[in-house]
A = this chain, B = another copy of it.
Amino acid sequence: TQQLLSSPVPRARPYRICNWDRSIRKGLVAESLRELLDKVRATLLMVGAISLVLDEDGTSVETEEFFQTLEEGTVFMVLGSGQTWRAAKVAGYQL
């Protein structure tokens, strides 16, 4: 139909998610930010508001259109209420 042809169909892509202290790290497949958030809540058993930031630098990912520009395999950190992103310790410089 016209509607199907007019916009590209999003396809499920693999991502990796970790929790705030990076003690949990899982692979998930999703075709949208909304779907990824739903799967994160279900797999990490989180309730309430959660947000996703890029693990590499803490960039907040809030919109579907920015999400769709990210590459397969992008690593997200999941933040619940009161949790904040911190840079990962650099190998060789453990304090």
Contacts and interface: CB of A to CB of B under 8 A. Distances in A.
Interface of A: 12-14, 16, 24-29, 43, 53-54, 57-63, 65-66, 69-70, 72, 87, 90-93
B60 A26 contact: yes
A43 B62 contact: yes
Contacts of A61: 27
Contacts of A70: 14
One complex includes copies of this chain to the number of: 2
Contacts of A90: 91-92
B69 A14 contact: yes
Given A91-B90, A91-B93, A69 B25 contact: no
Contacts of A63: 27-29
